Amino acid sequence: MTRVEKAEVIGKLYSRNNTQESIAKVLKMSVSDVGAVTRWMGFEHTKYVTPENMNDNQLIKPIRFEEDISFLDKYPDENFIDYLKEV
């Protein structure tokens, strides 16, 4: 399972109004790592930031590097498999 696939699982769960804490619990991750992934994916304060809904002080990262989420390698694929089907 790739880092991006793991990030997509986290993003999908977060977009369904799950808290970072609840996602961390079900995926057996640290809350800070879940938060880092949600920020990497473009979420800010539970909102996915797009050009249409961004504030003046918000930025959108046009390019994201997979290396930025290399910390996901320490989490086993088994933690994400059940939720990958939902993505």
pLDDT in tens, 41-66: 888 766 666 556 566 666 666 678 89
Question: Burial letters for 28-62: b for 16+ Cβ neighbours within 10 Å, e otherwise?
Answer: ebeeebbbbbbebbbbeeeeebeeeeeeeeeeeee
The pLDDT of residue 50: 59
Mean pLDDT (whole number) for 16-27: 94
The pLDDT of residue 47: 66
The pLDDT of residue 44: 78
Tally of structural domains, the chain: 1
pLDDT bucket at 84, cuts 50 / 70 / 90: confident
CA distance 83 to 26: 10
Domain of 39, in residue numbers: 3-84
Mean pLDDT (whole number) for 5-26: 94
* Residue 24, C-beta contacts closer than 8 angstroms, at least 6 positions apart: 30, 31, 33, 34
The pLDDT of residue 51: 57
12: three-class secondary structure by DSSP:
helix
CA distance 86 to 27: 14
